[in-house]
Structure 1
Amino acid sequence: MGKERVTVIDIAHAAGVSKSTVSLVLQASPLVNEVTRAKVNAVIRELGYVYNRGAANLRQSNSKSKIIGIVVNDLTNSFFAELAVGVDMVVQSAGYVQFLANTAESVDRQREVIASMREHGISGLILSPARGTEAADLKSLVASGIPVVNVVRQVAGAKVSSLVSDNHAGVSAAVRHLAGLGHHRIAFLGGFPDTAVFSERLQGYRDALSDMDLAVHDELVVSSAPSRAGGVAAIERALLLRERPTAAVCFNDAVAFGVCDGLRAHRLDPGEDFAVIGFDDVIEAQTAVPALTTVSVDPQGMGRRAAQLLLKQINAGRAEAEAIVSSVRLVVRQSCGSASDKRERLSLL
């Protein structure tokens, strides 16, 4: 009985890399670093693997399927689950199915899952880029003519379509609302400072404070992971300040929920002793206790719009980049409370 044919999976196991990475090496992709490339090529020579490029090209030319890829940076955030539902509503009615993947903010993982999706012949990609994603990471997709729509985050220099929220206007509205309730020390909590979204929201915060004739205090800006745990950590740091804030605009709803958890740990009631505003308006915001005041971006609606934009490009047969900024609105609920004497209680604790 002859020797069994060596496969890409065999190469991946022997080299200690993913199947997608091996595929990238075989395709001479610039996305693979030289150390990994050399290791994979050494295993290929050792096992005697022969790459049938003609068959691979044939597969690729026939591989355009009714599949839409959707890659997000943090699937633990319910915002992205709702976004995916919105995408599915549109692509399903158009006869497509979606492949969903989570990168957990890893650019390397992002490259791998996109490469794997390309092997399955995706017709287009909706991407919420991982931190550190550069235009070069999307270059091969653009060159191959696969339509891409970036959501939530943009990638500077990438010639792909984007759909983002009006981050500046949303946070500005939140700050103005809190100032209107009588708050003077308003914190901005959560988010990674090295992202454009953070910069836009922070600028909205600072501009609104200036517009309301309130001082801008750098110590009231506390960055953290944009997660529930990050919210707990951010409010812990804010409460250590000599002059504590009495209210906070949070980077997103996940951070806001964590801030509420942290306040309760200090026996402070969100909405009573401390005002909290989130950003996103996920489904849980309505049912939280207290119900969360938040900047609504309509996650499912954003997913639907992203899918519609992508299908438009697929059907047109060309990927002309469009940049769309979605409007937002402040939804006032119980978590921001009202300016009351209870804020004086906070300063005395």
Structure 2
Amino acid sequence: MASRPKATILDIAREAGVSKSTVSLVLQGSGLIRPETALKVRKAIEDVGYVYNRGAANLRKAHSNVIGMVINDLTNPFFAEMAVGMERVFQSAGIVPFIANTAENPVRQEEVLKSLMEQGVAGLIVSPARGTTPGAFRRIEMAGLPIVFTMRRLPESRIPVIAPDNHRGAWLATAHLIGKGHRRLAFFGGSSDLVVYHERLGGFREACEGLGIAKRDTLVIEGETSRKGGIACLETALAMAEPPTAALCFNDAVAFGVMLALRKRGLEPGADFAVVGFDDVIEAQHYMPALTSVAVDSAGLGERAAHVMLKMIQSRTTRAEDHIGAVNLVVRDSCGPDRRAGMGDAA
């Protein structure tokens, strides 16, 4: 992605039909400018893609050693582990990381991005919030600021992405369930407004189709990507006339919720209903029973994203190759055979 020349105060002045000094006063929030003129200048600022660097204005610093890390959900251990990986690399390089949690709120994300750009950060690593559109990053791209997406890509966006092989991971997990003799399978959690959801659901469906599971024997239930979401998905599934015997969950948090809901019903995860998670957060190996999960190495991907960002800054470019990280299935105790099929331990 070739970066455009950064818009200047002169560009704004020409667009608005005013002097450079008028533009400067508007940027400084001066009350000396008439409201209608200020409104015209602000519109011109948006139209030309100008970013007011408040850090440069206040401190006159030639360079910044601050990188913004904008994370969609730091309460999720997966994203917290990813942030730790980034921070480790930045600290060793003498970079100051600024971490912001958007709590899956695109409006909050927009506010954070605007603030970080005004403070003059050297680059941005973003895990986009749910509901984010590619246009949300237009000003950043026009400004020529290095930016990398982690874990989540946006449709039709050319911003480089560091993410796991979601499709492959879901295929491996589903094939494992089928190998255990399960013939009625579910995919729990996630939302169709996320590209990662379609990647994981695509792997689930491809494995089912390729390994002989009829579409009528599969169940897809969207839901929150949390324990609460997992509980709701399990309750919905078990209320059906022919419920599934196993589920691939969108992430580990959903899987933990499914196991909690099973226990409340007097059912044992793994023995009475097979559960597979995705992400393999640290808690997965310590849960009871230990959760079978697709290992993603979120900390490693965070480190990779940080290294890519440093290279972009050093090379003065906004170009970088996408990186799709390898995944593997970690088999533990939450995924037993389908006892109703009378097949024994088939895998």
Where on the TM-score scale, by shorter chain, does this alignment land: which range?
Answer: 0.7 to 0.9
Cα 1:98–1:218 shift into 2, 3 Å: farther
Give the corresponding residue for 1:256: 255
Cα distance in 1 for residues equivalent to 2:266 and 2:77: 27
What's the offset of the Cα at 1:99?
Answer: 1.2
Offset from partner CA, 1:177-235 (integer Å, 9 cap, x none): 01101000111000011211111111111110011111123861011011111111111
> 3-state DSSP class of the match of 2:153?
coil
Cα 1:313–1:236 shift into 2, 3 Å: same
What's the offset of the Cα at 1:56?
Answer: 7.6
Offset from partner CA, 1:281-301 (integer Å, 9 cap, x none): 111111111111000001111
Cα 1:55–1:288 shift into 2, 3 Å: closer
Give the corresponding residue for 2:266: 267
Contact 1:147 1:160 in 2 (8 A): no
Q: Does 1:29 align with 2:46?
A: yes
Q: Does 1:92 align with 2:94?
A: no
Give the corresponding residue for 1:44: none
Greater Cα offset, 220-229 or 53-62: 53-62
Structure 2 unaligned runs (5+)? 1-26, 32-38
Give the corresponding residue for 1:154: 153
Give the corresponding residue for 1:46: none
Offset from partner CA, 1:127-184 (integer Å, 9 cap, x none): 1111222222111111222111101111223332111111111011001101101000
Cα distance in 1 for residues equivalent to 2:240 and 2:205: 19
What's the offset of the Cα at 1:119?
Answer: 2.2
Cα distance in 2 for residues equivalent to 1:55 and 1:292: 48
> 3-state DSSP class of the match of 1:28?
helix
Cα distance in 2 for residues equivalent to 1:64 and 1:160: 23
Structure 1 segment 279-318 matched on structure 2, within 5 A? 279-318=278-317
> 3-state DSSP class of the match of 1:220?
strand
Offset from partner CA, 1:55-108 (integer Å, 9 cap, x none): 886448736421111112122211111001000110110001211111122211
Greater Cα offset, 112-121 or 289-298: 112-121
Give the corresponding residue for 2:77: 78
Cα distance in 1 for residues equivalent to 2:45 and 2:265: 56
Cα distance in 2 for residues equivalent to 1:54 and 1:164: 30
Give the corresponding residue for 1:19: none
Offset from partner CA, 1:33-63 (integer Å, 9 cap, x none): xxxxxxxxxxxxxxxxxxxx89886448736
The one-letter code sitting in structure 1 at the alignment partner of 2:180 is L
Cα distance in 1 for residues equivalent to 2:55 and 2:302: 33
Cα distance in 1 for residues equivalent to 2:336 and 2:107: 43
- How many positions carry a matched residue from both structures? 308
Contact 1:142 1:159 in 2 (8 A): no
Cα 1:58–1:205 shift into 2, 3 Å: same
Cα 1:231–1:274 shift into 2, 3 Å: same
> 3-state DSSP class of the match of 2:148?
strand
Cα 1:63–1:168 shift into 2, 3 Å: same
Cα RMSD over matched residues?
2.9
Contact 2:228 2:254 in 1 (8 A): yes
Cα distance in 2 for residues equivalent to 1:208 and 1:283: 27
Q: Percent identity?
A: 46
Give the corresponding residue for 1:278: 277
Contact 1:190 1:251 in 2 (8 A): yes
> 3-state DSSP class of the match of 1:334?
coil
Cα distance in 1 for residues equivalent to 2:58 and 2:277: 47
Contact 1:187 1:248 in 2 (8 A): yes
Cα distance in 1 for residues equivalent to 2:337 and 2:141: 50
What's the offset of the Cα at 1:120?
Answer: 2.2
Cα distance in 2 for residues equivalent to 1:27 and 1:258: 49
The one-letter code sitting in structure 2 at the alignment partner of 1:105 is E
Give the corresponding residue for 2:142: 143
Cα distance in 1 for residues equivalent to 2:262 and 2:53: 62
What's the offset of the Cα at 1:30?
Answer: 6.1
Cα 1:157–1:57 shift into 2, 3 Å: farther
Q: Scaled by the length of structure 2, what TM-score is found?
A: 0.82
Contact 1:159 1:321 in 2 (8 A): no
Contact 1:273 1:343 in 2 (8 A): no
Q: Scaled by the length of structure 1, what TM-score is found?
A: 0.81
